[in-house]
Amino acid sequence: MMKRKKCLAFLPLVFCLTACAGRTMPGQETAAPGEGEKTDESRIAVGFSQVGAESDWRMANTESIRAALSEEAGFDLIYEDAQQKQENQMKAIRNFILQEVDYIVLAPIVENGWETVLQEAKDAGIPVILVDRMAQVDESLYTCWIGSDFEQEGENAGKWLARCLEESGRDKEQIGIVTLQGTKGSSAQVGRTNGFAEVMRGHENWVMLGKEDGNFTQAKGREVMERFLETYEDIDVAICENDNMAFGAVEAIHAAGKSCGPDGEIIVISFDAVQAAFDAMIAGDINAVFECNPLHGPKLAGIIRGLEDGRTVDKIQYMEEAYFDTDMDLKQIREKRLY
């Protein structure tokens, strides 16, 4: 595929200062490429609009993509952190179009509202690859998607809870549940909530006491759990739709003088499986974690190379995922965790 000619010179300076880190700026002298290094012109220009830096998972995801789309690997990556705002992602996409990048990579914060801007990318002839979360748009507006089966994760969590309650002889008791939800309208929130609800429908004794948006952050997770603890006396289970909210929930539970984990009063279930979640399971604060694999970089680089070679790529590409609980040899697994 022919590399596009980059038109950076006419972009406003303020945009260039924030968006062009790592790229050659107009008027800047570039060092001659070393042996084996690719020149700026031959590299593949990729604009990546990331959700933000709200969680350990997100940092690992950014790092994986940055490492795979490095200059040494033949890419020119323009990274934009949207600070958890959809409007910032839209601005970033429009600026990528102005810069005539070769590919746009988008991790959409929420599923809705992308038609217009993705149509603009399509009209400009720039392929869009969605990573992590999905966008509810016509399929022709994106080339492919890489991510997790969030609904399956939620369902697995529900099934795990049913087994855990049965094993402890509590399967006929009334079970009070609270859910710390991720960013409302994001695929991770929608999928995990729906998957868990599907299993819950088969257990009449499970009562959902409250659900609240914790925006996938530790601070909000703590706040939401504090409110739940003040409002509901009998919380048996806290479903935390990511690890960072689970860390915040554990803080709130301890601060309220309660206990959690396999030997505690409240069962804590989480999603992601970052290293710190293993530490929390080993410490006895979290019962089970359902993996969400953030290491999209190598798959993404492979897809772009495939497209460059004129190959067709699978539209939907799921990451491989597992789950972990305190019955496992967590110390050994923790030592080998990559994120």
| Eight-state DSSP code of residue 140 | G
CA dihedral 200→203→206→211, nearest 10 degrees, is: 10
What is the C-alpha separation between 111 and 187, in angstroms, rounded? 6
What is the C-alpha separation between 221 and 248, in angstroms, rounded? 5
| Tokens 């009998």 found at | 234
What is the C-alpha separation between 191 and 148, in angstroms, rounded? 10
Query: Which tokens in the block code for residue 81?
Result: 């952190």
292 contributes a contact to ligand AHR by CB under 6 A: yes
**Which CB atom, from 64 or from 95, has the smaller least distance to ligand AHR?**
64
**Which CB atom, from 52 or from 261, has the smaller least distance to ligand AHR?**
52
- Closest contact distance (angstroms) between CB of 188 and ligand AHR is 4
Bridge partners (DSSP) of residue 111 are: none
Q: Mention every residue, 6+ apart, whose C-beta is less than 8 A from residue 338.
A: 60, 295
Pairing assessment for the beta strands 267-272 and 237-240 based on DSSP bridges: parallel
Give, as ranges, the residues between 117 and 156 that touch ligand AHR (CB under 6 A).
Answer: 132-133
**Which CB atom, from 109 or from 260, has the smaller least distance to ligand AHR?**
109
Give, as ranges, the residues between 262 and 281 that touch ligand AHR (CB under 6 A).
Answer: 271-272
- Closest contact distance (angstroms) between CB of 35 and ligand AHR is 40
- Closest contact distance (angstroms) between CB of 11 and ligand AHR is 30
What is the C-alpha separation between 156 and 166, in angstroms, rounded? 15
**Which CB atom, from 132 or from 285, has the smaller least distance to ligand AHR?**
132
Q: Give the x-and-dash track for 195-234 against ligand AHR (CB under 6 A).
A: ---------------------x------------------
Q: How far apart are the first and last CA of the chain?
A: 34
Of 49-57, 92-100, 114-122, 229-237, which segment contacts ligand AHR by CB under 6 A?
49-57
- Closest contact distance (angstroms) between CB of 76 and ligand AHR is 26
293 contributes a contact to ligand AHR by CB under 6 A: no
| Eight-state DSSP code of residue 141 | G
54 contributes a contact to ligand AHR by CB under 6 A: yes
What is the C-alpha separation between 139 and 141, in angstroms, rounded? 5
Give, as ranges, the residues between 232 and 261 that touch ligand AHR (CB under 6 A).
Answer: 242
57 contributes a contact to ligand AHR by CB under 6 A: yes
**Which CB atom, from 49 or from 242, has the smaller least distance to ligand AHR?**
242
193 contributes a contact to ligand AHR by CB under 6 A: no
58 contributes a contact to ligand AHR by CB under 6 A: yes
| Eight-state DSSP code of residue 187 | H
**Which CB atom, from 102 or from 132, has the smaller least distance to ligand AHR?**
132
Bridge partners (DSSP) of residue 92 are: none
44 contributes a contact to ligand AHR by CB under 6 A: no
- Closest contact distance (angstroms) between CB of 148 and ligand AHR is 7
Q: What is the DSSP string of 122-139?
A: HHTT--EEEEES---S-G
| Eight-state DSSP code of residue 260 | B
Residues that bind ligand AHR (CB under 6 A): 54-55, 57-58, 132-133, 188, 216, 242, 271-272, 292
